[in-house]
Amino acid sequence: MKFAIQINEGPYQHQATDTAYHFTKSALEKGHEVSRVFFYHDGVYNSSRITTPPQDDRHIVNRWAELAEAHSLDMVVCVAAAQRRGVVDDGEAERNGKDATNIHPAFRISGLGQLIEAAVEADRLMVFGD
């Protein structure tokens, strides 16, 4: 079965991204396909590579990145939500004249169409939020 995952909340503030992570990991372990993980609203903060949690806590960003690498996950950060919140990749920095980037390379910034497309093509859309 093909799942699409939508995450509406940022890391540490809300459990949504933890639940989404464990659901995604479990689905993959059971042999399902996760066609896309889409980060929306404050969920875009899950992609900040400069995130620095205390050493004894889970590293939510790296954890997503490792899962993505192991399973070739397509992790997409919504461009409109990211721009509002200052989540930036090289392309966005250049287009908007920003002096820094902060997105982890495991994620890519793209449009909302990616969420709709994932919902059209997947068997299930799973939404995790506040």
Partner 1 sequence: MSILHTVNKSPFEKNSLDECLTHSTDGCAILLLEDGVYAAMQGTNVESAVKDAMASKKVYALGPDIKLRGLSTDRIIDGIEVVDFAGFVDLSESNDKVQAWL
Partner 2 sequence: MSKIKKFMYVNRRAPYGTVYALESLEVVLIGAAFDQDVSLAFIGDGVYQLKSDQDSSDSDQKNFSPIYQALGDYDVSKLYVEKESLEERGLTLEELMPLTYEDEDDDWAEKDSIRVVSRDEMAELMDQQDVLFNF
Give me the least distance between CB of 73 and partner 1, in Å please: 16
Q: Is 94 in the site for partner 2 (CB under 8 A)?
A: no
Using an 8 Å Cβ cutoff, are 108 and 89 in contact? Answer: yes
Q: Is 76 in the site for partner 1 (CB under 8 A)?
A: no
Contacts of 58-62 with CB under 8 Å at 24 or more apart are 58/18, 60/11, 60/12, 60/17, 60/18, 60/21, 61/11, 61/104, 62/104
| Phi and psi based region of residue 100 (left: phi greater than 0; alpha: psi -120 to 50; beta: remaining) | beta
47-55, 72-80, 87-95, 121-129 -> range binding partner 1 (CB under 8 A): 121-129
DSSP string, 15-31: THHHHHHHHHHHHHHTT
Task: Establish whether 18 is a catalytic residue.
Answer: no
Q: Is 127 in the site for partner 2 (CB under 8 A)?
A: yes
* Active-site annotation holder among 78, 81, 103, 122: 78
Kindly identify the residues of this chain, within the stretch 3-22, that bind partner 1 according to CB under 8 A: 3, 8, 15-16, 19, 22
Task: Kindly list the residues in this chain that would bind partner 1 in the complex (CB under 8 A).
Answer: 1, 3, 8, 15-16, 19, 22-23, 25-27, 29-30, 32, 124-130
